[in-house]
């Protein structure tokens, strides 16, 4: 079977999507640390949501351009504005 050539742009966009989800995870992780002492239940709920981000990140593939673009469109604006992030998270 002939290998399909993957464009540099596709690889770059995939890396951008991964980095955006890294930023989202960092925002959630910071909030988890803030809540651990005062509201352990809320901290655990955020840990579960963070696991969903990890799962989404682990399922990103260069071959799935539409998912990559959807992630960039959805999460990119959120990680740029923390208030928006929490409102939409």
Per residue in 26-84, pLDDT tens?
Answer: 999 999 999 999 999 999 999 999 999 999 999 999 999 999 999 999 999 999 999 99
**Res 4 pLDDT > 80:** no
Give residues with Cβ within 8 angstroms of 17, minimum separation 6.
60, 68, 71, 72, 75
- Measured CA to CA, the distance from residue 45 to residue 58 in angstroms comes to 20
Give the model's pLDDT for residue 1: 42
């Amino acid at each position: 079977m002939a290998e399909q050539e993957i464009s540099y742009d596709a690889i770059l966009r995939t890396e951008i999507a991964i980095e955006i989800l890294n930023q989202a995870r960092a925002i959630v992780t910071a909030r988890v640390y803030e809540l651990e002492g005062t509201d352990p239940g809320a901290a655990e709920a955020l840990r579960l949501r963070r696991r969903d981000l990890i799962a989404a990140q682990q399922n990103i593939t260069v071959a799935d351009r539409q998912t990559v673009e959807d992630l960039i469109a959805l999460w990119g604006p959120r990680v740029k504005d923390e208030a928006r992030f929490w409102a939409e998270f």
